[in-house]
Structure 1
Amino acid sequence: MNKSFKYVNNLWNDEEAAKLDAVGRLIYRSNKLGTDQRITNTGGGNTSAKLSETDPLSKQPVEVLWVKGSGGDLRTSTRENFSSLYQDKLVSLQKVYGAYPQKGPKTQAEDDMVGMYNHCTFNLNPRASSIDTPLHSFIPAKHVDHTHPNAAISVAASANSVKLTKEIYGDEVVHTPWLRPGFELGLEMQKICKENPKAIGIIMGQHGLINWSDDEKECYFRSLELIEKAAQYIEKKYAEKGGDQTAFGGQIHNTLPEALRNKVFAKLLPWLRGQVSQQKRFIGTIQDDEKILRFVNSKDAARLAELGTSCPDHFLRTKIKPLYIPLESGSCDEASIDKHVELLKKKLTAGLEQYRKDYADYYNKCKRPNSPAMRDPNPTVILIPGLGMVAWGKDKSESRVTAEFYNCAVEVMRGSEAIDKYIALPQQEAFDIEYWLLEEAKLQRMPAEKELARQIIVVIGAGSGIGKEVAHRLVKEGAHIVCVDVNAQAAQVTAKEITDKYGLGIGVAGTGLSNCGPAIGLACDITNRASVRVMLDQVALAYGGFDSLAITAGIFVAPDTTGHIPDDKWALTFAINVTGSYIVADEAFKTWKEQGLSGNLVLTTSANAVVAKKGSVAYDASKAAANHLVRELAIELSPLVRVNGVAPATVVQGSSMFPRDRVIASLAKYNIPYAETEATESLTTKLAKFYADRTLTKNPITPADQAEAFFLLLTKRLSKTTGQVITVDGGLHEAFLR
């Protein structure tokens, strides 16, 4: 058990395992298996242990099956992800199933049995049982691992998989043809174990590997050893056929250099996101590493892509097949980027049209009388020679998982083609999984999407103050946040605060800027058009595009001791508070037009825009201009983009525009008593109270108050409002419009 492996990772540690109880060791085994992507994919596979427990009613020992339940991921699973069921009751369900007049994997009897698992629950465990539960229950061993290793699926998805299984494993592993996961498959495995008492595993046709042992550590190592054997066999054959040089029939396209790829992607992706988001918006992930490029640039890519994926876990994410874009061999350089992008758009337009037609034909050919309505016919995986793969999902996490699964599918095809010939799951079988009523019921049980789900929102000024608060407010409602600030580190700190709280999501990360989660931090000088364009292009590479922009960046320049504002400070004030917002809007509109998706732009103005005051002439005049800029942009960007503004009164607490020296200057200006030695927080509180007392509501105005207004304007709650400025000033009557 202590042997080394080349194609899987041995992560078992006896000292760690010895500290755990029986269920803890099952979780430990599961986590170790799930950590290695070559063993199982995100959310795929399940493990189990038949353990002795004390019945809560009889107080007698009973055998309980602990098995990873529906949903969850082996790598991250905890005790809460495992269902627990009375083993004897599960076995007794065979009599119930046997009483049905019609039985089989596609009968109502099969589906009815899933509901019966609830009657077998031990100790009121609320975790829903997996459809794979019978596989674990009916195999007569204490410990069972069901995984989706690329190497094993390569064998399972080969035309001669029965012969190959025998050649690789001898009598240790038995092959069983494709059978939809469920009760019938569990019975088949029970029969295999009875007829093959020396067997320790089964290659499941088109699907994966399942193996067992009465010892938990031995079960773990059997998983590793069986995968290692398949991988060794594949790599030997692969090398004999020429290895990477001849993989997938050899390379017929050249990979564009990374810098050039990024420029093409930045121009192409917003348009492409608009094309695939006609029903619901999608978030993108780029995958352009060596392995995926080896596939998309190959001679056989078109043939293999058209076949689709084999493993059900793969195609539930990647759909029945990806969209492959055929291109003639040719080159692209800096001078021909625009021409190349236009060619790709033309090819993609035709490809998407044909894909949607093919998907509708697939649905209509395979649908059954009670099938759910056809789902979104757009592809979730797009393969482009020279560039790589773009995967789409409802959020960044899902698009990363989609990319991961198609990477697995590519590895499966590589293995199958090395040892034999790759075959995909028949379309009817694939359809019966994709549109399985139990799968549909699971989708219907999922919680409703949050209000800003599927939205990518760029918050400029997110490094501090109102911008930081806006970023945190929006992500709570499901938005993906691009935190932008002139200070790159400040932007990244806010992004990290978000990812630390909400996680990076699951799935293998993309490459480059696409290697991100629900938030990313970027630098930008909004007074520099080139800087703005670079930032928006980076957003495209990270997520595929964006939906809305919130601009909270601003500057207040105090006059000198004579009350004068120098010309350069006047120009800087207008550059940041007015011109910067215009530049951002102007550049963003190019992307909005490419996407063709409606969006929102919210600027930050100020109550000072309508209140003339001594000592802030540059700031007040700039905010008055910003107020009118809102109205002008609302006209210019309509009907695609709604443009509104938020006008705060003086926000002192948490604002980067109120450093200690300005707070002290203001206290002195208004003759508010203070001591030079007072803590900054105390000084800020005094000033905030002074400003609050001037309002009708008598409460200090906070960044959170402003964030709520941004949230309202960025949702559909005020969907008919554009060209307006919402004041959040506590009721500052001097600012009432006359």
Structure 2
Amino acid sequence: MSTYQHVTFSWDDAKAASLDPVDRLVYRSNILGDDQRITNTGGGNTSSKLIETDPISGEEVEVLWVKGSGGDLRTSKRANFSSLYQSRMIELQRVYAARPDKGLKNPGEDAMVAMQAHTTFNLNPRPSSIDTPLHSFLPGKHIDHMHPNAVIAVAASARCEELTQEIFGGAMAYVPWMRPGFELGLAMQEISEKQPDVKAIMMGQHGFISWDDDEKACYTRTLDLIEQAAAFIEERYEAKGGDAAAFGGQKFETLPEADRHATLAAILPWLRGQVSQQKRLIGTVQDDAKILRFVNSADAPRLAELGTSCPDHFLRTKIKPLYVDWNPQTEDLDALKTKLTDGLAQYRLDYAAYYQACRHDNSPAMRDANPTVVLIPGIGMIAWGKSKSESRVTAEFYNCAVEVMRGAEAIDTYIALPQQEAFDIEYWLLEEAKLKRMPAEQELARQVIIVVGAGSGIGKETALRLVKDGAHVVCVDLNLAAAEATAKEITDQYGQGIGVAGSGISGCGPAIGLAANVTDRASIRAMLDQVALAYGGFDHICVTAGIFVPADTTGHIPDDKWALTFGINVTGGYLVADEAAKSWRAQGLRGNLVLTTSANAAVAKKGSLAYDTSKAAANHLVRELAIELSPLVRVNGVAPATVVKGSAMFPRDRVIGSLAKYDIAYTDDEETESLVTKLAQFYADRTLTKSPITPADQAEAYFLLVSERLSKTTGQIVTVDGGLHEAFLR
């Protein structure tokens, strides 16, 4: 086609010409995966049959380069592709034919996946995927297998075979649903042999595959077929009334944005606790026009109950979502919570019944029976996953499912994959083996930790430390720009993760930056509500915000500075704890609160009266809160000695004042770094370890206290002071 309205043509001849054949396959894969109308995250695969030199014989051989198991087309690199001797892959057909247990769903089918390893070219470590036979057995040198919404809408229609002929004529053949693998590859090979002019096959309930001997022609054919399907759908969609008539027309009105967000903020921590009974989950909220068009529609209950059609979709979204029959115009928050409670209970029963009805003698144990997608009229969609990245992908996949339903209903009647077929994919032993091969989760995985004071110093170092062990970190500071800078430093290093960034109201990754004033209860509540909207809730809070106000020139602390010191160092910790307790109790998941006190809390000295007494009060606040919040929340404190390097509490003028106070030699034009080093070493020399104390030293204590390593410790103060004997317990 000369122009495209429903996909983006991204092929660049100059770019392609500059690449070697394997890198051109990578390039083709990346530009296909970059357009989510062509394929979803992690879905689809591509291949090229290339001539390579055998490392042993030195002869030229044909090698199948195909996207290996796992990975994502958009982000795939050369290392994500398997390389297999094409001739040996063909020889496996003879091995398969000789097996007495060959055939769909028989052990021989799955055993052939392991046999593919025997065809590996040049010791390539990337495991090949279950789709590899499709690419090997079809005749094209270059092959694209995609999951575009438009084509899946045809594949998920009751009249799929007839519609394939109507839309594509003889340009696309048809194969009914078959689980990906050896048997499907052989079926496609037979189709291509009987219809040599055909270079594409519709895969019922799944997607499509296309090929050519020229890679650009293969790419173009893929786009042409998707464009053709999309144009056909949109023409009929508009003829049926377009958006106004979509999904049977609108039944409910969308709540105003402020009301939606207030409702979500109120319900999400509780809901997170309900769906996290086995393992903690992270949420993604979506409330844009497209998802609201669906959840507000008359047909949403019927279509949601049918579930998804494409295997890629329901592996993330489960067999179906939880649709909550709540009227946003006539029912209140209590009614929503009641209906969610009832809906969750029924969903778990339905899932258990589905498992029992479809299980085999060797099926893996039943997985978590809670939904991963929740649909609420007037509100939108909440998706859940083990990480922010995974919940965003879950949301993306259900968006794809909604688009498939829209298209299928526009041209015919939407049908979902039969439950037994869906179960056999979800509980496939090969899928289970893949899950078991995955590395163990990091120590703080699935957890959301709020660090108050993350814009600088100890707070920033703590945020950077926690994310190393898999935590999602909310960087909070009075200075929003500083909080966002710390969050950006994290996302620049760890990435935003895969999935749709910016969809709905929580397009964040492993870290976000927010502002809050710890002396203002309303500000704290607003921040906690934003955390709920971003992640569904939170697990732990580290309060590192603090202030030191030196005495004035007369040696006294002005009343307002005294009040400010206690307001931040004591009352601030209490207000954070008191507001957070509401969310912790609603959520019902165990958490941790860590406050920052000081070695000065136990050492009386001249010149820091307000600071030292406020920190002594903070020590006792830790003990009181440990009692108040038990047994759900453990409360502990970290007591640093003087941290000079990297601390926002030691600007140049305070450093110079301290050097003068202790008669430490310096010059007015000396570099700040040099001044800080001198003062830090002075303080270090007063300790038993003689080592300067850094923000990183403190961050390690926060990590220990929010982890399970000290799970029986509460109401305690952990000192990180280098061994300041004046602060020893008395």
The interval holding the TM-score normalised by the smaller chain is over 0.9
Residue matched to 1:216: 215
The one of 369, 373, 381 equivalent to 1:381 is: 373
The one of 588, 591, 610 equivalent to 2:583 is: 591
Give secondary structure in 2 for the equivalent of 1:171. helix
Query: Does the CA-based 8 Å contact 2:177-2:203 persist in structure 1?
Result: yes
Query: Does the CA-based 8 Å contact 1:142-1:215 persist in structure 2?
Result: yes
Is residue 509 from structure 1 mapped to residue 508 from structure 2 by the alignment? no
Q: Distance in 1 between matches of 2:502 and 2:328?
A: 26
Residue matched to 1:159: 158
For each residue in 1:637-696, what CA deviation from the matched residue of structure 2 results, as whole angstroms up to 9, or x when unmatched?
111100000000000000000000000000000000011111000000000000000000
Residue matched to 2:82: 83
Residue matched to 2:190: 191
Residue matched to 1:666: 658
For each residue in 1:220-248, what CA deviation from the matched residue of structure 2 results, as whole angstroms up to 9, or x when unmatched?
00010000000011001101110101100
Query: Does the CA-based 8 Å contact 1:284-1:543 persist in structure 2?
Result: yes
Is residue 416 from structure 1 mapped to residue 408 from structure 2 by the alignment? yes
Q: Distance in 2 between matches of 1:713 and 1:224?
A: 53
In the superposition, the TM-score normalised over structure 1's length comes to 0.98
For each residue in 1:21-45, what CA deviation from the matched residue of structure 2 results, as whole angstroms up to 9, or x when unmatched?
1011111100000000110000000
Residue matched to 1:335: none
Residue matched to 2:263: 264
Map 1:199-238 → 2, pairs under 5 A: 199-238=198-237
Query: Does the CA-based 8 Å contact 1:400-1:510 persist in structure 2?
Result: no
Map 1:167-182 → 2, pairs under 5 A: 167-182=166-181
The one of 622, 625, 649 equivalent to 1:633 is: 625
For each residue in 1:210-268, what CA deviation from the matched residue of structure 2 results, as whole angstroms up to 9, or x when unmatched?
00000000000001000000001100110111010110000000001111111111001
Is residue 624 from structure 1 mapped to residue 623 from structure 2 by the alignment? no
Count of aligned pairs = 730
Give secondary structure in 2 for the equivalent of 1:246. helix
Give secondary structure in 2 for the equivalent of 1:624. helix
Map 1:247-258 → 2, pairs under 5 A: 247-258=246-257
Identity %: 73
Residue matched to 1:93: 92
Is residue 281 from structure 1 mapped to residue 280 from structure 2 by the alignment? yes
Give secondary structure in 2 for the equivalent of 1:553. coil
TM-aligned CA deviation for residue 101 of structure 1: 1.1
TM-aligned CA deviation for residue 512 of structure 1: 5.2
Query: Does the CA-based 8 Å contact 1:323-1:355 persist in structure 2?
Result: yes
Residue matched to 2:354: 362
Unaligned stretches of 5+ residues in structure 2: none
Q: Distance in 2 between matches of 1:567 and 1:166?
A: 84
Q: Distance in 2 between matches of 1:355 and 1:708?
A: 42
For each residue in 1:298-319, what CA deviation from the matched residue of structure 2 results, as whole angstroms up to 9, or x when unmatched?
0000000000000000000000
Q: Distance in 2 between matches of 1:541 and 1:613?
A: 45
Residue matched to 1:614: 606
For each residue in 1:188-208, what CA deviation from the matched residue of structure 2 results, as whole angstroms up to 9, or x when unmatched?
110010011111101100000
For each residue in 1:339-371, what CA deviation from the matched residue of structure 2 results, as whole angstroms up to 9, or x when unmatched?
x22111100000000000000000000000000
TM-aligned CA deviation for residue 509 of structure 1: 2.4
Give secondary structure in 2 for the equivalent of 1:170. helix
Give secondary structure in 1 for the equivalent of 2:170. coil
Which one-letter code corresponds to 1:362 in the other structure? Y
Map 1:587-736 → 2, pairs under 5 A: 587-736=579-728
Q: Distance in 2 between matches of 1:163 and 1:275?
A: 45
For each residue in 1:132-164, what CA deviation from the matched residue of structure 2 results, as whole angstroms up to 9, or x when unmatched?
000000001100000000000000000000000
Is residue 145 from structure 1 mapped to residue 147 from structure 2 by the alignment? no
- After TM superposition, the structure 1 stretch with the greater mean CA deviation from structure 2, 508-517 or 357-366, is 508-517
Q: Distance in 1 between matches of 2:72 and 2:603?
A: 57
Which one-letter code corresponds to 1:509 in the other structure? A
Which one-letter code corresponds to 1:36 in the other structure? D
Q: Distance in 2 between matches of 1:737 and 1:617?
A: 20
Residue matched to 1:16: 15
Residue matched to 1:105: 104
For each residue in 1:513-559, what CA deviation from the matched residue of structure 2 results, as whole angstroms up to 9, or x when unmatched?
41100000000000000000000000000000000000000000011
Give secondary structure in 1 for the equivalent of 2:592. strand
Unaligned stretches of 5+ residues in structure 1: 333-339
What is the aligned-residue RMSD (CA, Å)?
Answer: 0.8
Cα 1:118–1:716 shift into 2, 3 Å: same
TM-aligned CA deviation for residue 382 of structure 1: 0.3
TM-aligned CA deviation for residue 561 of structure 1: 1.4
Q: Distance in 2 between matches of 1:668 and 1:513?
A: 52
Q: Distance in 2 between matches of 1:569 and 1:102?
A: 82
Query: Does the CA-based 8 Å contact 1:143-1:214 persist in structure 2?
Result: yes
Query: Does the CA-based 8 Å contact 1:325-1:384 persist in structure 2?
Result: yes
Is residue 567 from structure 1 mapped to residue 566 from structure 2 by the alignment? no
Cα 1:675–1:513 shift into 2, 3 Å: farther
Q: Distance in 2 between matches of 1:40 and 1:234?
A: 17
Q: Distance in 2 between matches of 1:456 and 1:114?
A: 38
Residue matched to 2:239: 240
Q: Distance in 1 between matches of 2:513 and 2:403?
A: 33
Query: Does the CA-based 8 Å contact 2:287-2:505 persist in structure 1?
Result: no
Give secondary structure in 2 for the equivalent of 1:59. coil
Give secondary structure in 1 for the equivalent of 2:497. coil
Is residue 39 from structure 1 mapped to residue 38 from structure 2 by the alignment? yes
